[in-house]
């Protein structure tokens, strides 16, 4: 008996909710969530969220952006023109400090302007600023003086909730045993959850199969991410 042919699957983008009501809170990220919720009553005009890739930093930054009306720029695109364009009292998200800063002097100037012009700044990085090297004198100490909250790898409860949310974003219903199976065998990270849900979705579409535990096991194996 020949196997049924697999359907051609196009890798189309799917909707991913990023509003505050969709962010999932647990012990691994509650300090960062509390910091976002305290704005605009921050003790310092700038704060920094640090955490591994896929931990939810950008989601939190987007929640704060929607709340504060902030603009967004990556550190790799930050320059004097971007700093000069900021109006007094405005807000800005600066993402991914660890991936390179286009102009360290511009960042130093931005941190100085934050206090002088009552700017609100939220910075994100995969690693704390104390573990990074900078060429501009005093930039490291200036960044280390900022309030820093770290987002930890997800605990089991958060990981399960994230899997359910990611499947729901793709309009996929999933039974609890499948979630339990995946959460016990996958890498504990948001990035891994995204990869696995995408792989399960592709496999289900390609093979016309329901979202079951055997299908989830096959998707995990295809990614080499099964951690028994």
Q: What tens digit of pLDDT does each residue of 100-118 get?
A: 999 999 999 999 999 999 9
Which CATH architecture describes the domain 156-223?
Answer: Orthogonal Bundle (1.10)
Under the banding of pLDDT at 50, 70 and 90, the label for residue 1 is very low
Q: How far apart are CA 160 and CA 141, in angstroms?
A: 38
Q: Answer yes or no: is pLDDT of 73 > 90.
A: yes
Residues of the chain within CATH 3.40.50.300 domain(s) are 20-150
Q: Are 189 and 52 in contact (CB under 8 A)?
A: yes
Structure-token pair, residue 176: 């609890």
Strand partners, 71: 92
CATH superfamily of 20-150: P-loop containing nucleotide triphosphate hydrolases (3.40.50.300)
Residues of the chain within CATH 1.10.8 domain(s) are 156-223
> What's the whole-number mean pLDDT along residues 156-161?
88
């Amino acid at each position: 008996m020949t196997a049924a042919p697999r359907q051609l699957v196009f890798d189309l983008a799917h909707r991913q909710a990023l509003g505050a009501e969709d962010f999932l809170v647990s012990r691994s990220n509650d300090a960062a969530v509390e910091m976002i919720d305290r704005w605009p009553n921050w003790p310092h005009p700038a704060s920094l969220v640090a955490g591994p890739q896929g931990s939810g930093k950008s989601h939190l930054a987007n929640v704060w952006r929607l709340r504060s009306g902030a603009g967004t720029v990556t550190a790799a695109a930050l320059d004097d023109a971007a700093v000069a364009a900021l109006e007094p009292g405005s807000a800005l998200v600066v993402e991914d400090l660890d991936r390179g800063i286009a102009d360290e002097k511009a960042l130093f100037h931005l941190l100085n302007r934050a206090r002088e012009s009552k700017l609100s700044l939220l910075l994100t990085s995969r690693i704390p600023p104390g573990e990074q090297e900078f060429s501009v004198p005093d930039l490291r100490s200036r960044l280390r003086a900022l309030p820093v909250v770290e987002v930890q790898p997800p605990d089991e409860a958060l990981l399960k909730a994230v899997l359910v949310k990611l499947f729901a974003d793709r309009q996929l219903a999933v039974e609890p045993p499948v979630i339990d199976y995946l959460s016990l065998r996958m890498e504990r990270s948001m990035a891994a959850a995204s990869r696995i849900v995408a792989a399960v979705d592709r496999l289900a579409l390609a093979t016309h199969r329901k979202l079951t535990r055997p299908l989830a096991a096959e998707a995990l194996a295809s990614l080499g991410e099964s951690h028994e």
